[in-house]
């Protein structure tokens, strides 16, 4: 396989069908529409199911139905459309049905705009529907990572019988980059899990429901789900690091914000500042274990996001007040420039040096 120039949305769509996607249901919304358009051609060519639904609400319930047959199923949307899907996501969480949802995030609240944003962090990690559950959330920072995480998303969904959200900001969805697609995986048509509702032929019937009328039963189900979520939280924390060795200031950012921060951190290092980057690749489970380790060795933390400060809550929870945590963010579809992040790094670096005198500082960099 060789690298080719691919648009993020198209790359995710192609990666999904190469991961054995059997059915896609979706509704047009910018900035994810190329994903739907690509699959409208490719899924039909391959004799698989593609259906443009009448709404995001219908799309997610078509996904729910199709996933009940044990098939690999996906939908995609962007922030306001994702909000509409919360009903179906909650039902799927209540019925242990695996599926993959792509959220190409845009500016909000309300109709907002179609520009890149990370305003759905709360929505995807905390409020993907009513009830006690958290989806697995993967956050790519490049087209290549979007491709790799798409395949991973299906594997994790089926491993844990849980939903996986690929949370890409609008820039990841819209930009073109050289990337390599995986080989085509076979569709497992005919192989269905034992719980699937495919007709009770020669076996006892299967029922897929999220109803437990007795309080103790409902609590019992919740305890089961919570146990599984703890397993996921233990096993699936993922993050990337850059120049964290010997850093005194740790920058934390994901997706496009993480990429902008990467450039800023490199520039800061060149200027002699001991700065490193932690880029969460899973937003839930949040990579708190690694962040907590790093927090033992740095003096401060700067969180960079394309929102008003949402992931910063998780950073603070992971760090537990050990070190000061500051925040830099742009909203409404504004993508921060590396220079802006660098300026913030310089300010934070200087402030920390004054607040926490330490022989670990490179004094020259502060002058």
Partner 1 sequence: MAERTAQTESEDRVPGMEAVYEHPRTLNKVVTHYCPGCTHGIGQRLVAEALDELGLRERTILVASVGCSVFVYNYFDVDAVQAAHGRAPAMATGIKRLEPDRIVLTYQGDGDMASIGLAEVVHAAVRGEKITTIFINNAIYGMTGGQMAPTSLPKQQTTSSPFGRDVRLTGNPLRMSELLAGLDGSAYIVRRSLHDARNVLKAKKAVLTALKVQMHGLGFSMVELLSSCPTNWGLSPEESLKWIENEMIPYFPLGDYKVADEVAAL
Interface with partner 1 (CB under 8 A): 22-23, 25, 49, 51, 53-55, 57-59, 61-69, 71, 73, 87-88, 91, 95, 197-202, 204-211
User: Closest distance between partner 1 and the C-beta of residue 131, in Å?
Assistant: 13
- Nearer to partner 1 by Cβ, of 176 and 207: the residue is 207
Q: Which two tokens stand for residue 64?
A: 């729910």
- Report the residue number, 77 or 244, with the smaller CB distance to partner 1: 77
Burial class, 105, CB count within 10 angstroms (exposed 0-12 / middle 13-18 / buried 19+):
buried
Contact between residue 288 and residue 317 where contact means Cβ atoms under 8 Å apart: yes
Question: Which is closer to partner 1, CB of 25 or CB of 262?
Answer: 25
Which is closer to partner 1, CB of 61 or CB of 259?
61
Peptide bond into 366 cis (omega under 30): no
Q: How many CB atoms lie within 10 A of CB 97?
A: 26
Shortest Cβ distance from residue 22 to partner 1 (Å)?
7
Q: What is the rounded CA–CA span in Å between residue 153 and residue 337?
A: 30
**Distance in Å, CB of 59 to partner 1, minimum:** 8
Q: Read off the DSSP letter of residue 245.
A: T
CB of 86 to partner 1, least distance (A): 11
Tokens 């007040």: give the residue: 321
Q: Output 55 or 127, the one with its CB closest to partner 1.
A: 55
Q: Phi and psi (nearest 5°) for 46?
A: -90, 5
CB of 115 to partner 1, least distance (A): 29
Q: Is 5 exposed, middle or buried (0-12, 13-18, 19+ CB in 10 A)?
A: exposed
Among residues 205 and 270, whose Cβ is nearest to partner 1? 205
Beta bridge partner(s), residue 104:
168
Least distance in angstroms from the C-beta of 248 to partner 1? 51
The angle formed by the CA atoms of residues 131, 124 and 291, to the nearest 5 degrees, is: 110
CB of 300 to partner 1, least distance (A): 46
- Tell me whether residue 56 or residue 236 sits nearer to partner 1 (CB atom): 56
Three-point CA angle 29, 35, 39, nearest 5°: 120
């Amino acid at each position: 396989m060789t690298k080719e120039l691919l648009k993020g949305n198209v790359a995710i769509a192609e990666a999904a069908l190469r991961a054995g996607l059997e059915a896609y249901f979706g509704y047009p919304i910018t900035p994810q529409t190329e994903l739907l358009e690509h699959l409208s051609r490719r899924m039909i060519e391959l004799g698989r199911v593609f259906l443009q639904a009448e709404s995001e609400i219908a799309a997610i319930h078509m996904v729910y139905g199709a996933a009940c047959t044990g098939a690999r199923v996906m939908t995609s949307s962007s922030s306001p459309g994702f909000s509409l899907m919360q009903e179906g996501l909650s039902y799927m969480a209540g019925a242990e049905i695996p599926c993959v949802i792509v959220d190409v995030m845009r500016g909000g609240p309300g109709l907002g705009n179609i520009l890149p944003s990370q305003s759905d962090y709360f929505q995807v990690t905390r409020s993907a529907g009513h009830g006690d559950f958290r989806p697995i959330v993967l956050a790519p920072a490049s087209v290549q990572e979007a491709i790799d995480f798409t395949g991973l998303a299906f594997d994790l969904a089926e491993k844990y019988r849980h939903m996986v959200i690929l949370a890409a900001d609008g820039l990841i969805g819209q930009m073109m980059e050289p990337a390599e697609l995986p080989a085509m995986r076979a569709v497992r048509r005919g192989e269905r899990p034992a719980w699937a509702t495919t007709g009770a032929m020669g076996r006892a019937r299967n029922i897929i429901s999220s109803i437990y009328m007795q309080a103790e039963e409902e609590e019992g189900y919740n305890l089961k789900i919570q146990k599984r979520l703890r397993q996921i939280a233990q096993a699936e924390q993922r993050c990337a690091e850059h120049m964290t060795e010997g850093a005194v200031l740790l920058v934390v950012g994901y997706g496009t914000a993480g990429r902008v921060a990467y450039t800023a951190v490199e520039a800061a290092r060149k200027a002699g500042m001991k700065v490193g980057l932690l880029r969460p690749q899973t937003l839930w489970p949040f990579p708190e274990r690694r962040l907590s380790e790093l927090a033992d060795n740095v003096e401060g933390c700067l969180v960079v996001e394309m929102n008003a400060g949402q992931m910063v809550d998780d950073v603070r929870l992971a760090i537990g007040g050990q070190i000061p945590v500051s925040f830099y963010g742009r909203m409404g579809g504004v993508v921060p420039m590396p220079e802006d992040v660098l300026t913030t790094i310089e300010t934070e670096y200087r402030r920390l040096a004054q607040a926490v005198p330490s022989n670990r500082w490179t004094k020259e960099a502060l002058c």
